[in-house]
Amino acid sequence: MNRIKTDILVIGAGSGGLSVAAGAVQMGAKVVLLEGHKMGGDCLNYGCVPSKALLSAAKRAHAMTTGASQGVATVEPDVDYAAAKAHVHSVIETIAPVDSEERFEGLGVHVIREYGRFISETEVQAGATVIEARRIVIATGSSPLVPPIDGVDDVTCHTNETIFDLRERPEHLLVIGGGPIGMEMAQAHIRLGSKVT
């Protein structure tokens, strides 16, 4: 078992954890960052970035239908849903280096790509490594939940972690939840030609 002593251990490499790790190392702290899933977390991979990229494509489609009041002829857009989703993934790939393991290692952060579990108040085990830290920041974010609704298992159900992988525009989308991503997905899909409830 490898052992590491550090000033700060950050668990989770989403927007919160990355900000803490970068700030702490720039102030001279010795920092270890644990991430067992994707660097950049929800914001880069399933939230802010892909959502805004899809909204951008949807805004362009919507603009084609709304110029009449300003003297611009309107036209029904021909939306290539798969190309819009390719745009989303291209934007993620463009931004990903900013949140990458390589960038944070370059800043002086020791990145370990494992999940962690507490083994004492000051120690976390991550794979074959035990990290002892003076301070531990838990920035693990959240995971989507499919609510236990009768019949939900009988239909195709997507969360913010799967909807950006769709390549065919859904004919009708039922959005459950009125948080930021739910509202953005509703607006984007209406503007890209889906019916949304």
Kindly report, residue by residue over 97-123, the tens digit of the pLDDT. 999 999 999 999 999 999 999 999 999
Share of the chain above pLDDT 90, in %: 95
Report phi then psi at 142, rounded to 5: -140, 175
- What's the pTM? 0.90
What's the pLDDT score for residue 160? Answer: 94
Interatomic CA distance for residues 45 and 96, integer angstroms:
9
Residue 172 falls inside a structural domain: no
What's the pLDDT score for residue 86? Answer: 97
Interatomic CA distance for residues 110 and 96, integer angstroms:
18
Residue 173 falls inside a structural domain: no
The total number of structural domains in the chain stands at 1
Q: Which residues in the chain belong to E strands, given as ranges? A: 2-11, 31-34, 110-112, 117-118, 123-126, 129-138, 172-173, 195-196
The answer to whether the CB of 112 falls within 8 A of the CB of 32 is yes
Interatomic CA distance for residues 24 and 46, integer angstroms:
26
Residue 9 falls inside a structural domain: yes
The CATH number of the domain holding residue 36 is 3.50.50.60
The answer to whether the CB of 132 falls within 8 A of the CB of 122 is yes
- What is the phi-psi region of residue 146: left when phi exceeds 0, alpha when psi lies from -120 to 50, beta otherwise? beta
What's the pLDDT score for residue 74? Answer: 92
Residue 76 falls inside a structural domain: yes
Residue 197 falls inside a structural domain: no
What's the pLDDT score for residue 129? Answer: 98
What's the pLDDT score for residue 127? Answer: 96
Structural tokens at position 108: 């002086």
Average pLDDT value over all residues in the chain: 96
DSSP annotation of 165: G
Residue 41 falls inside a structural domain: yes
Residue 29's domain spans which residues?
2-144
Residue 141: Cβ within 10 Å count: 17
Residue 111 falls inside a structural domain: yes
Structural tokens at position 42: 């929800």
Residues of the chain with pLDDT under 70: none
